[in-house]
């Protein structure tokens, strides 16, 4: 399924990106949806926020009554207003007939800025710039808390500067693609043209370049996510690991739905 991660440190949980399937994914991890309190969206591509509204709404019907803060690009406010508008009939029903709290008042949409530092309970979040043209509001995320550091690359082209941003992290979660898997994927998708291939090549990072960033950053573990391709049996975890072997000899996790990494 598309991109969504749950980070839990020092008793604070943060959902990072809300691609399709995030609600099911959190439930599968045993996460109580009514405990949702913090969400960060790295950029406004559908595979990172398509299910943001449905996640919050489902948490609300499951008992959410504490505030939820959502950080992300400035355009996120428009998405959330549109979601509330699209669900207006249901929201009015549940507030008036079921006694639910006003969902609009529970949720705060906050802009994230490169270099900005945000306190999320006991966690400190620093936002960095990722390279994902043509978008400009695209963020890498560095979380620190309980003596641990976890960095998410966000969607990004190869970005050597990320090595400084991720310096010394216990875990770097980096997006990755396999060059030899791109042409078969484009053929299989079938409704995009050369522009889709061009977007992959200028907006995403080859697995070996993700490994180079991890090495330069001196991180303890590397997890690859947002895999392109992600669902081609010809490019399973063994192929990814084999591709990475010459470039990374540290702890490696190849992302799959439900993968759990303990720090
Ligand atoms: Zn993207
Ligand atoms: Zn993406």
Please tell me the total count of domains within the chain.
2
Kindly state whether residue 73 falls inside one of the protein's structural domains: yes
Residues 93, 185 within the same domain:
no
Question: Which ligand is located closest to the Cα atom of residue 228?
Answer: 2
Q: Report pLDDT for 47.
A: 98
229 preceded by cis ω (within 30°)?
yes
Burial level of 263, CB count in 10 A (0-12/13-18/19+)?
A: middle
Q: Report pLDDT for 215.
A: 98
Query: Does residue 215 sit in helix, strand or coil?
Result: helix
Kindly state whether residue 132 falls inside one of the protein's structural domains: no
For residue 97, how far is its CA from the centre of ligand 2 (angstroms)? Answer: 39
For residue 35, how far is its CA from the centre of ligand 2 (angstroms)? Answer: 26
Alpha carbon 119 to its chain's center: 18
For residue 189, how far is its CA from the centre of ligand 2 (angstroms)? Answer: 16
Residues 94, 194 within the same domain:
no
Go through the chain and tell me how many residues it has: 263
* 181-208: b (≥16 Cβ within 10 Å) or e: bbeebbeeeeeeeeeeeeebeebbbbbb
For residue 5, how far is its CA from the centre of ligand 2 (angstroms)? Answer: 13
pLDDT band at residue 57, thresholds of 50, 70 and 90? very high
Question: Which ligand is located closest to the Cα atom of residue 134?
Answer: 1
Q: Decide which of 115, 148, 165 is a domain's last residue.
A: 115
Q: Report pLDDT for 181.
A: 95
Residues 252, 172 within the same domain:
yes
For residue 263, how far is its CA from the centre of ligand 2 (angstroms)? Answer: 25
Residue 226's domain comprises 157-257
pLDDT band at residue 9, thresholds of 50, 70 and 90? very high
Q: Report pLDDT for 206.
A: 97
Kindly state whether residue 101 falls inside one of the protein's structural domains: yes
> Average pLDDT, stretch 227-252?
95
Question: Which ligand is located closest to the Cα atom of residue 226?
Answer: 2
Kindly state whether residue 147 falls inside one of the protein's structural domains: no
For residue 15, how far is its CA from the centre of ligand 1 (angstroms)? Answer: 17
Q: What is the CATH number of the domain that holds 240?
A: 3.60.15.10
């Amino acid at each position: 399924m598309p991109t969504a991660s749950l980070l839990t440190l020092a008793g604070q949980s943060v959902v990072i990106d809300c691609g399709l399937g995030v609600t099911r994914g959190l439930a599968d991890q045993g996460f109580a949806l009514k405990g949702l309190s913090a969400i960060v969206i790295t950029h406004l591509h559908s595979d990172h926020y398509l299910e943001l509204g449905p996640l919050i709404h489902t948490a609300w019907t499951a008992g959410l009554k504490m505030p939820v803060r959502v950080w992300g690009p400035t355009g996120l406010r428009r998405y959330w207003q549109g979601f509330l508008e699209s669900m207006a009939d249901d929201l009015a029903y549940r507030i008036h007939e079921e006694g639910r709290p006003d969902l609009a008042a529970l949720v705060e949409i906050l802009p994230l800025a490169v270099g900005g530092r945000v306190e999320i309970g006991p966690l400190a979040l620093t936002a960095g710039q990722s390279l994902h043209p043509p978008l400009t509001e695209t963020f890498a995320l560095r979380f620190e808390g309980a003596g641990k550091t976890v960095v998410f690359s966000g969607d990004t082209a190869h970005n050597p500067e990320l090595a400084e941003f991720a310096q010394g992290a216990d875990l770097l979660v980096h997006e990755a693609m396999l060059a030899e898997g791109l042409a078969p994927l484009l053929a299989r998708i079938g409704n995009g043209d050369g522009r889709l291939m061009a977007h992959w090549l200028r907006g995403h990072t080859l697995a070996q370049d993700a490994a180079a960033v991890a090495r330069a950053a001196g991180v303890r573990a590397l997890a690859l996510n947002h895999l392109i391709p992600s669902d081609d049996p010809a490019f399973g975890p063994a192929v990814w690991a084999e591709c990475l072997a010459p470039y990374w000899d540290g702890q490696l996790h190849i992302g799959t739905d439900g993968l759990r990494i303990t720090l």
